[in-house]
Amino acid sequence: MANAVVSQSGGPTGVINASLVGVISEVGKQRGIDHLYGAIHAVSGIVKEDFIDLQKLSMEAISRLALSPSSALGSSRDKPDEEYCRKILNVFQKYDVEYFYYIGGNDSANTCYLINSMAEKIGFNFRAFHIPKTVDNDLLVTDHCPGFGTAAKFVACALIGDDLDNRALPGIKIDVLMGRHAGFLTGASVLGKVREDDGPHLVYLPERPIMIDKFLADVEGVYRKLGRCVVAVSEGICDTDQVTWIEKIAQTQERDSHNNVQLSGTGALADYLANQIKSKLKVKRVRADTFGYLQRSFAGLQSDVDRDEAAECGRKAVQFSMKHDNGSVAIRRTGNGERYSVDYFRTDLSSVAEKTKSMPDEFINSEGNGVTEAFVEYALPLTGGLPKTEYLGGYPRIARK
Amino acid sequence: MANAVVSQSGGPTGVINASLVGVISEVGKQRGIDHLYGAIHAVSGIVKEDFIDLQKLSMEAISRLALSPSSALGSSRDKPDEEYCRKILNVFQKYDVEYFYYIGGNDSANTCYLINSMAEKIGFNFRAFHIPKTVDNDLLVTDHCPGFGTAAKFVACALIGDDLDNRALPGIKIDVLMGRHAGFLTGASVLGKVREDDGPHLVYLPERPIMIDKFLADVEGVYRKLGRCVVAVSEGICDTDQVTWIEKIAQTQERDSHNNVQLSGTGALADYLANQIKSKLKVKRVRADTFGYLQRSFAGLQSDVDRDEAAECGRKAVQFSMKHDNGSVAIRRTGNGERYSVDYFRTDLSSVAEKTKSMPDEFINSEGNGVTEAFVEYALPLTGGLPKTEYLGGYPRIARK
């Protein structure tokens, strides 16, 4: 008999635990797998042999797990090199682990690829499968990533509320949203728009470099027309010289172990933009919020569609691993709009590993300050539906006496 | 026949429109009221005679309205003086408005009081009623304020998620929450805590001045013990000299028309605290988020309890106005815990006007860095219940081989 390990890596999402539940439930149906171990804190837990027995979870715990945000097994930012991978394989051999399910982004797909290649070389019978997750929606091959729909729902609900707030007390509002290189999540800010003058009125994405003067002119244009303006800005927007605004603002930048600049967890970009508007446009009421980690870990606000797909990706990984030596689970869209539907397929680890996807051109407007109807058609079904609201300020007035 | 005006003032909440729906539905039952006008943008809409006919709303619109965050009639920060109140009364006389329902905080109660006193003086038959709302929960007399429960639910759900995120990728996390003078909403950050080591581990309130050195020592203590630390900080916390930290940080502060320093809509306090921790405690992974307006206007996340009470406050205001000349609606708690229940009573406008309530001493721990079980018993029922979650990192490990 063989054992299996499942783990979670990188930044948490709102449905990464649903994928874990999918793995647990499907492994339970497979006769070829004896034990299912959960590695605590991803690859770092594997090398430390820090495992729990996932088959001992109660049904109650599993139900709660599927609804819990963040990575219940803990996560890690470690990016294994050859030496690290060798240690992982040693542990796997010691514990008779022949199946490895790794829920994560493109770095995790790469880790699967490295370990799998090394296992092949040494003739160890081993199968590594990657289960996609990311709030950024930036993985290749798959139509979209589990985790994105829930984060998109959070951002859309936030902007619905924030736009109504801005109607009640008009001014200029800047919201800085997650998205290092891909603008999908920032684009999701528009998904709740219903009325013609609903905000956000301007959306700035990492895919479209912009100069501060153009930004200010855009904001001024909307403000002069509507008397208010709501702006969604990706944390990763850059200037026309390709340097991110946040890099320009910050003198020193903390970099994570993958050599990425830390963009989340600071209000510097939002405050900078608000101050630019206050000083250059002479508008008094300017506010700026940075949504930060709320976008990826918020309890009680999953997209049902996203959760179900995340769970199915976990199940599919186990099913695919019964027939294939390795792979990554991908989603194919088979219907859209009210008839939204998907199916799942296996793709090569190398096709997902270490690469990222950006917003395609047809999702971004020609001005580079908004998204298109094609993007809304793509992203809206993933949220599982959004709340409908009412604003009375546009209703007809009674005749004056 | 007489007419009525209803309006909404100050900062929006998640259920201020439920109170409006309560007024609309109850006015529909009263034979003494002919028309119900909604004034757009509060008192500024009254003096501009900017009214809509609320009796023309469809049932569909009313249903959506009850679930919509922010002030659907628009709001205003205007604080009427005697001259302004005279203009308001002139408009009311012109439109035969003998009933005025004003949904707002203590400033709105004061406006009701001023207009009502002036009407008495000139012998105009007029009744002004205040309907309480505030996310800060800082009004006197009432047990709690409509709007607080929903904001508390948002903050609690955010901290449940954020604490799980911090477990997955350990470090120090600072969350800056709303609360200028009252710590209720910041205190609500603890309401989702279940496990013994759940965060937030430290809570700082405007009611307890604190020095930065004590703050850093507290954070270091938790971090050394747990390897992580989640901290909830009110935007209004002040130093032992009573000056707010944010005033100390900022050189220039925008003040609103009520001469309050603008504390929301800036990430300065969060970033300052994160940088203090990084430099003084030498901890690498430190993040800080400022929740900002999300706390008061987020679509699709009401507390059912809060919404129902907000609607009932609107209905009660209309009922009380049939019997009394003026007043403010207040909530009395008649049962707690699983048997939570309330009733409603009328209180004098002057008892609510212009005053604010702080967290009572029994709600704050002796160290001044957390809340008590008494606070949890007080606040938890108002959220209408919180999501249950699962974290697996505390489960027993399998025996090492």
A64–B292 CB contact, under 8 Å: no
For residues B195 and B310, membership in a common domain is answered with no
B51 and A11 in contact by Cβ < 8 A? no
Q: How confident is the model at residue A248 (pLDDT cuts 50, 70, 90)?
A: confident
Query: Chain B contacts of A173, Cβ < 8 Å?
Result: 293
What chain A residue is nearest to B269 in terms of C-alpha separation? Answer: A267
Mutual angle of helices B304-323 and B59-67, in 10-degree steps? 120
Q: How far is CA A241 from CA A233, A352, B53, in A?
A: 18, 29, 54
pLDDT score, position B135: 97
pTM of the model: 0.96
Check A64 against B388: CB less than 8 A apart.
yes
Residues A147 and A46: their CA atoms lie apart, in Å, by: 24
Domain count, chain A: 2
Measure CB to CB from residue A299 to each of B64, B298, B387 and give the nearest one. B387
Query: Does the residue B226 lie in any domain?
Result: yes
More confident residue, B88 or A180: B88
B369 within a domain of the structure (yes/no): yes
Task: Give the residue from B191, B276, B294 with the most A CB atoms within 10 Å of its CB, the best one to mutate.
Answer: B294
Residue of A nearest to B395 (CA): A52
Q: Of A51, A167, A268, which is closest to B74 when you measure between CB atoms?
A: A167
The answer to whether the CB of A384 falls within 8 A of the CB of B65 is no
Minimal Cα–Cα distance from B26 to chain A, Å? 19
Q: Do B169 and A75 touch (CB under 8 A)?
A: yes
Preferred mutation among B91, B162, B260 to probe A, highest tally of A CBs within 10 A: B162
Q: Are A306 and A146 in contact (CB under 8 A)?
A: yes
Query: Do A216 and A275 contact (CB within 8 A), yes or no?
Result: no
Residues B122 and B256 in one domain: no
The angle subtended at Cα A106 by Cα A103 and Cα A107, nearest 5°, is 85
Asked if the structure places residue A398 within a domain, the reply is no
A76 close to A30: Cβ distance less than 8 angstroms: no
**What is the mean pLDDT for each group of 10 consecutive residues in chain B (401 residues)?**
96 98 97 96 98 97 97 96 96 98 96 96 95 97 98 98 98 95 97 97 97 96 98 95 85 48 67 90 91 96 98 98 97 96 98 95 98 98 97 96 89
Tell me: do A271 and A221 sit in the same domain: yes
Set of chain B residues whose Cβ sits within 8 Å of the Cβ of A292: 287, 289-290
Q: Closest-CA residue in chain A for B53?
A: A398
Q: Do B165 and A68 touch (CB under 8 A)?
A: no
Interval A141-160 mean pLDDT: 98
Is residue A330 packed enough to be buried (19+ CB in 10 Å), middle (13-18) or exposed (0-12)? buried
Query: Do residue A68 and residue B401 have CB atoms under 8 angstroms apart?
Result: no
Flag whether A90 is in a domain: yes
Q: In degrees rounded to 5, what are phi and psi of residue B183?
A: -95, 10
Q: Are B83 and B104 contained in the same domain?
A: yes
* Residues of chain B contacting residue A68, judged by C-beta atoms under 8 Å apart: 164, 389-391
Task: Give the closest residue to A72 by CA, choosing from A153, A116, A133.
Answer: A133
User: Do A5 and A92 form a contact (C-beta atoms < 8 A)?
Assistant: yes
Longest dimension (CA), chain A: 90
Residue B198 included in any domain:
yes
Q: What is the pLDDT of residue A90?
A: 97
What mean pLDDT comes out for the span A41-45? 97
Our CA-based measurement puts residue A67 at a distance from the nearest CA of chain B, in whole angstroms, of 7
Hey, what are A164's tokens? 């109504």
pLDDT 10s digits, A260-310: 455 455 788 998 899 899 989 989 899 999 999 999 999 999 999 999 999
Pair A224, A343 in one domain: no
Sequence-separated (6 or more) residues with CB below 8 Å from residue B166: B173, B199, B228, B229, B230
Residues A125 and A176 reside in one and the same domain: no
Q: Strand, coil or helix: what is A111?
A: helix
Q: Which residues of B touch A287 (CB under 8 A)?
A: 264-265, 292-293
Domain end among A352, A373, A391: A352
Helices A268-281 & A212-226 angle (0-180, nearest 10): 60
Question: Helix (H, G, I), strand (E, B), or coil: what is residue A210?
Answer: coil
Hey, is A226 helix, strand or coil? helix
Kindly list the catalytic residues of B. 136
Same domain for A222 and A254, yes or no, is yes
Instruction: Note whether B401 contacts A95, CB cutoff 8 Å.
Output: yes
CB A264 within 8 A of CB A235: yes
Residue B140 belongs to some domain of the structure: no
The partner residue sitting opposite B297, judged by closest CB among A12, A51, A162, is A162
The rounded distance, in Å, linking the Cα atoms of B313 and B18 is 9
Residues of B with Cβ-Cβ distance to A389 under 8 angstroms: 64, 67-69, 299
Contact B78, B257 (CB under 8 A): yes
Asked, for residue B124, whether it belongs to a domain, the answer is: yes
Residues A170 and A74 in one domain: no
CATH of the domain at A167: 3.40.50.460
Residues B343 and B377 grouped into a single domain: no
Question: Is pLDDT of A91 > 70?
Answer: yes
Strand order in the sheet with A229-234: A202-204, A229-234, A172-177, A286-290
Note whether A290 contacts B287, CB cutoff 8 Å. Answer: no
On whether the CB atoms of residues A43 and A9 are closer than 8 A, the answer is: yes
Instruction: Find, in chain A, the residue whose alpha carbon is nearest to that of B95.
Output: A401
Backbone φ and ψ of A233, nearest 5°: -125, 130
Assess if residue A60 is contained within a domain: yes
Cβ(A332)–Cβ(A143) below 8 Å: yes
- Strands across the sheet containing A127-132: A51-53, A33-39, A2-8, A97-104, A127-132, A326-335, A341-347
**CATH number reported for the structural domain that contains residue B48 in this entry:** 3.40.50.450
**Domain co-membership, B378 together with B318:** no
The whole-angstrom distance between B350's CA and the closest CA on chain A is 27
Residue B371's φ and ψ, nearest 5 degrees, are -110, 165
- Residue ranges making up the domain that contains A229: 149-295+360-383
Q: What is the dihedral of CA A87, A26, A322, A50, to 10 degrees?
A: 10
Q: How many CB pairs under 8 A join A and B?
A: 258
| pLDDT value of residue A262 | 52
Which of B62, B391, B400 is the best residue to mutate to test the A interface, defined by the most A CB atoms within 10 Å of its own CB?
A: B391
Q: Tokens standing for B129?
A: 């009623």
Claim to verify: residue B186 and residue B86 sit in the same structural domain: no
Judgement on whether residues A376 and A233 belong to the same structural domain of the protein: yes
The catalytic residue positions of A are 136
ipTM comes to 0.95
Cβ contact B158–A389 (<8 Å): no
For A174, which residue in chain B has the nearest alpha carbon? B265
Report the gap between the CA of A181 and the closest CA in chain B (Å).
20
Residue A216 CA to residue A280 CA, distance in Å, equals 8
Cα(A128)–Cα(A134) distance, integer angstroms: 19
